[in-house]
Chains A and B, each alone.
Chain A
């Protein structure tokens, strides 16, 4: 397969088109505007529709409409924009509609800045909008993985009739790497539930509303059943040199690959350090992490946040092993040497 150099944002766009996405609604925001631009350029070439909405609130409701007719549809945004979308995301989750969202996370809170961050982890994995719902959340760490997981995102969205979120960050969005795309012919069929005309059959209803609490509870229970299935079937993670590790670093996305360099440095110095990289942030790989950490004396979680995934790491590991944390906020990217120095300090500080 031929490889070409592409930005993470552009690779996600191309992979979406290869996955059969022909509809994109969005509103530009740094550091992901290249994805919006890419879709504006590419979708007309494949007889798709690109539409720049007047706001993120409008864009998410266009997604709501387009997904209810069963078409593969996507939007992309960055942190403040994704906050604006939350009401619509909650509606879409309740109405059980497949759709793909991309959040190229930047420094926050508030208007924040435009540098890479992972500070939207809670928003991504614990709901984000109102009510009891979950997104399937995928966290790529390379441009190739971003492209591959975009294809996966559309499949999972259809499989579970659930919104899927690709959780990237400004660094992955802006960087270029060689990437290749699958030429596999894509077909999907949502005709069993989509609103495609009710001639000769009873009308269907897509709704995120039930005034009767017992009726709404039934809808909720259906959602919960679905989330349980996701937890059973869709967990993804990657481990590096964990078999003999005495120390385990846990990091996802861009931090996951930066941490891999820390593992390389530590191994050169004879320190048995391994890496656990969650790829699905929801469902979180609790059990796999627990196993990987079973024989280590120290777990170091590294994030571009104040410690959000840290809570899931602690849930997984409970009191069995010492869990330490290092993170930078506001768009500051922790560098490999910086993390390695912290790691050595933590090793020295035996509790």
Chain B
């Protein structure tokens, strides 16, 4: 079983961290993982993305033409990555920011108002963890427990209230998609 994932959004939305938390979680489950950031000259407010592979087999190519699962946190990311989602794949849309509909009918679209949910929790910055909760519950690429542990590992040294907030964000995200 292999999950090929692209996570994309504005610089500052925490999309790189989302990918790294996913990889950390996959690694602790004994899976093979790769995390590949887009890097290059990018203006403030421009888009950043990372490619994540989580697999039971050793990962050959860390780049992917047509990912099974795509997360778009802003409109430019939707425009760039909707066309390459694999048929019957998942497209996760941060509907708080992306106020338009995807064009394709041959993929499964999941809308998560990540910013609104994060705002209700009192901190817009956890919108990425809201989305990650919804993403992991739907795709089952890793277990929710490993996801929470991986997030805690990545936020090691931070205030316990911050960690609790992030745990709550993940839980709200999965609740939104029926978890």
Residues of A within 8 A of B (CB): 3, 5, 30-31, 113-115, 170-171, 174-178, 254, 257-258, 260-261, 263-264, 333, 335-338
Contacts and interface: CB of A to CB of B under 8 A. Distances in A.
Given A333-B63, A336-B64, A337-B65, A177 B34 contact: yes
Nearest to A173: B39
A3 B27 contact: yes
A260 B61 contact: yes
Contacts of A263: 60
B147 to A, nearest CB: 15
Contacts of A335: 61, 63-65
Interface string B16-44: 00001001100100001111110111000
B60 A257 contact: yes
A175 B36 contact: yes
A171 B63 CA distance: 9
Contact of A174 (B37, B41, B59, B61): B37
B35 A5 contact: yes
B63 A176 contact: no
A336 B39 contact: no
Given A3-B27, A5-B24, A115-B40, A336 B61 contact: yes
Interface of B: 20, 23-24, 27, 32-37, 39-41, 59-66
A1 to B, nearest CB: 13
Contact of B60 (A174, A260, A337): A260
Contacts of A5: 20, 23-24, 27, 33, 35
A51 B39 CA distance: 26
Given A3-B27, A176-B23, A178-B27, A171 B36 contact: yes
Given A5-B23, A258-B60, 5 more contacts: A3-B27, A171-B36, A178-B32, A260-B61, A261-B61
Contacts of A177: 33-35, 59
A114 B40 contact: yes
Nearest to A335: B65
18 contacts: A5-B23, A30-B39, A114-B40, A115-B40, A174-B36, A175-B34, A176-B36, A177-B59, A254-B62, A257-B61, A257-B62, A258-B61, A258-B62, A260-B61, A261-B60, A335-B64, A335-B65, A336-B63
A47 B75 CA distance: 49
Given A5-B27, A176-B34, A177-B33, A264 B39 contact: no
A338 B65 CA distance: 8
A345 B137 CA distance: 41
A260 B32 CA distance: 15
